Amino acid sequence: MVVAVEQLSDLFLLLHVIRETGLVNGRTRLQKTIYLLRERYHIPFRFHFKPYFYGPYSEDLADAVENLVALGLIEENRHYFDEDVIEYSYKLTKRGMDFLSTNFTTESTRKPPIGANLSRAIRELNDLLTPALVATAKSVMASSSLVN
């Protein structure tokens, strides 16, 4: 099924980003990635973000992820990142993969205004280490609040 660009929902975009990333390491990483995809690369996420300790944070996004975990489309794993530091990682389950390929085609993401932008944006953000991602998100939020 090809979905018109204007109908691209947060659900599709979120699942697509997680699939493209493969494994998202950390809640903070997921939050900042989605924020920057929206603010810097104009990917039409509708989640509402507000400033928080670790930079922009969206309760709607956290809620959506929790619901997708409850529905078995995303898997959340908890593991030790360092001796005393826990990290949560996210990946699509087989069910999530099947759902995405049954309900959407990537054709929607290849058309303007998203075009090749999304894959390139995900690659660029994946190349950033988490502290740099957080710093970038914070600075984008600070400058957008100055503009507004």
> Which one, 82 or 127, has the nearer CB to another protein?
82
CB of 123 to another protein, least distance (A): 26
**Phi/psi at 39 (5° precision):** -75, -35
Query: Would you mind telling me the total number of residues written for the chain in this entry?
Result: 148
Q: Cα-flanking dihedrals φ and ψ of residue 75, to 5°?
A: -110, 130
Nearer to another protein, 53 or 146 (CB): 53
Least distance CB 113 / another protein (angstroms): 21
With tokens 């996004």, the residue in question is: 61
Q: Is 51 helix (H, G, I), strand (E, B) or coil?
A: coil
Q: Tell me which residues touch another protein (CB under 8 A).
A: 9-12, 50-54, 59-60, 63-64, 66-73, 78, 85-86, 95, 99, 103-104
